[in-house]
Each structure stands twice: as C-alpha cells, then as structure tokens.
Amino acid sequence: MQKTRFVKDLKEGEPVRDLFLVANKALLTSNAGKPYLTLQLRDRTGQIEARVWDRAEEIGKRFDRDDVVEVGGTAIAYQGRVQLKVHDVRREEGGTKDLSEYLPVTKKGIEPLWKTLQEYIAGVKDKDLARLLAAVFPDPPEADVARRFRQAPGGKTMHHDYIGGLLEHTVSVAGICRMLSAHYEGVDADLLLAGALLHDVGKVHELSYEGAFDYTDEGRLLGHLYMGTEYVSRVCAVLPGFPPEKTMLVKHIILSHHGELEYGSPKRPKTLEAILLHHVENMDAKATAFGDAIAELREGVRWTDYQRMFERYLFSGKFPKETAEGS
C-alpha cells in the first residue's frame, strides 16, 4: 500500500484508510471495565491521537510501537483537535519502510541551518573557543556527533520534536544570544555563543530517532546536561593548550541551562552568560511549543487542550469575527 494521505489533511467526519507510524501504544481500561487501545500515530506532517474501542486486545496483538501500520477508521473532533476512531489496524508487511514519510522534519531546511551555524562559528574571535567549536562541528560534518547533530530532534515531545529540530533550536538560540551580546554590557560574546551552540549537544545520544522518538538507556540514566558536559570535557582535553578555566565556564553554561535544581540543572546559572543562555533557551523552546500547539487547532477553535509544558490551556489570540467587529 502506498501512503496517500497525511495527518495535516485529515478532516472531521472523513473515513480514513492509510499508513502511519506507531509512535506510542497503550492498552488501558475504561471506567466501565472494558479494554481499549490508545495510540499516537504520526507521519512527516504531524501526530494524531487514535483510539480502538472494539476488539482492542485482539487488534493490539497485531503490531508494536515503531511499526508502520495500515489504519482504518474515521476522523472525529475531540477537545478542539481531530482524533481517529479506529476499527482496524494491520502491520504493513514486506519491503523496507521509508521513514522519511513518517518522521517530521524541520521546515527551515537542514542545509540552510547548518550554513548559518558555520557562519556563527566563523565569527568567533576567541581562538580557543573557535578551536572547540570547529572540533565539535566540523564542516563538512564528518564526525559522528556532527552528523547526528544535524538529524536529531530537539526533544521527544516537548519542543522541536522533529528531525533537524536540535539544529533549528540551537541556531535560533545562538542568533538571539548574538543580539543580546550587543545589547548588554559586560557580556563575553564568544563565550555566550559557544554556550548557545553547545548547550544541548548531549541530546545527540540522549535521544533515539531511527523510528519513533524516544530516550536511549544512556539518556534516561544520565541526561543530556551531564552527557554534553562530559563530551565537551573530552574534546577540550585533546585540544593542545586549551585553558582549563574556559573549559569550566563552558561546562557551567551547559550544566546550568535548565535554570533551577527542580528542572534538572545540578547548578543554577552563576555567570552573566549562563543566566542569559538559560532564559533564551527557555524562551525559544516555549515560543516554538506555543506555535506548534496553536497550529494544531481546528479552524474556529481558540483554546488548546491542557499543555503539560506550560501547565495551562493556551489561547490562540483570535476572537470570533462578530466580537472583533463589535468592539
């Protein structure tokens, strides 16, 4: 079967029979004691929730997470979003699955983003930090970390959760940091830029993205702050004459960029560059997540469902036409 319809094109009331990647799967029990399947299905245009209410146990045995499946059902409206009410699911058999149809990709283009990143590195005047960045992000990207950095998502579900999302997020954060360096006195512009480009480098091994996005064992046990810090330590250690105080300052930015202990940072930001990076990184992640949540709303729906990242419902900012005209 060839894939012909995508998540972004599904409309309420339409019958659906097409191929999707199973991003998540869980067998639950309703209040009435009846088993049902909850699924997250995705393709390169987005993700959609699906429910199997009848024959859930039987159908659930046919496929696993990360399988490409043929789904039959109906698109319905639920809490402002389109959801699938599914009556049949079958694993797609035969041939190698082309995941390019099923994993979302940055809309900004990996090559243009990589070019911008290289331009930022070329502007670094501090020779030590320039050597560090060139070692981590060689061009062409022959090293394993650089290749993975171009492909990795920025997160599993929270923000920039698409192929190239880590690169997009990093370039965005770095661009904002460049502006802040010109705005505030006393900022070490090269140190701030290095921290911006390296703050999430640990995610290249924290996340797996050969199928549905998930955490690796190393990612679950250690986390990307520690992993990124250790990686930068190893790179600095093999660069001849790299000053240990600069290693320490870059590592501090990486370790502290979540801002608070309860958000996973073992240290809170204690330098101007670390403080700025924390707020910029948080702002970029939330602004992007906000835009993605609003983009998923059906026409005429103004409020999202509950957003775990924000711990609140979000408003699209659009009022009914008659209200706007009467104000």
**Exposed/middle/buried for residue 114 (C-beta within 10 Å: 0-12, 13-18, 19+):** buried
CB within 8 Å of 81: residues ≥ 6 apart: 49, 296, 297, 298, 301, 305
Give me 296's structure tokens.
């998923």
pLDDT value for 97: 63
The CATH classification number of 105-289 equals 1.10.3210
Note the pLDDT of residue 27.
95
CA distance 308 to 313: 9
* DSSP tag of 180: H
Quick check: 47 and 41 in contact, CB under 8 A? yes
Q: Which two structure tokens, joined as six digits, stand for 267?
A: 């240290």
Half-sphere exposure of 270 (CA within 13 A, CB side): 10
Domains 7-99 and 105-289 share a fold: no
Intervals of the chain under pLDDT 50: none
Which amino acid would we find at residue 296?
E
Domain spans, the chain: 7-99, 105-289
Percent of the chain scoring above 90 in pLDDT: 68
CA dihedral 267, 286, 222, 239 (to 10 degrees): -70
- How far is residue 93's CA from residue 91's CA, in Å, rounded to a whole number? 6
Q: What is the pLDDT of residues 34-76, one digit of tens each?
A: 999 999 998 988 889 999 999 999 999 999 988 999 999 999 9
Q: Which amino acid appears at position 68 of this protein?
A: V
Calpha distance 251→242 (Å, rounded): 14
What gap in Å lies between CA 68 and CA 53, rounded to an integer?
Answer: 20
Q: Is 261 exposed, middle or buried (0-12, 13-18, 19+ CB in 10 A)?
A: exposed
Helices 189-198 and 244-256 cross at an angle (nearest 10°) of 50
Q: In this predicted structure, what is the pLDDT of residue 127? A: 97
Q: Are 108 and 94 in contact (CB under 8 A)?
A: no
Report whether CATH 3.40.50.300 matches the domain 7-99. no
Is-contact 153 166, C-beta < 8 A? yes
Burial 204-241 (b: 16+ CB within 10 A, else e): bbbbbbebbbbeeeebeeebbbbbbbebbeebbeeeee
CA angle 292, 172, 205 (to 5 degrees): 85
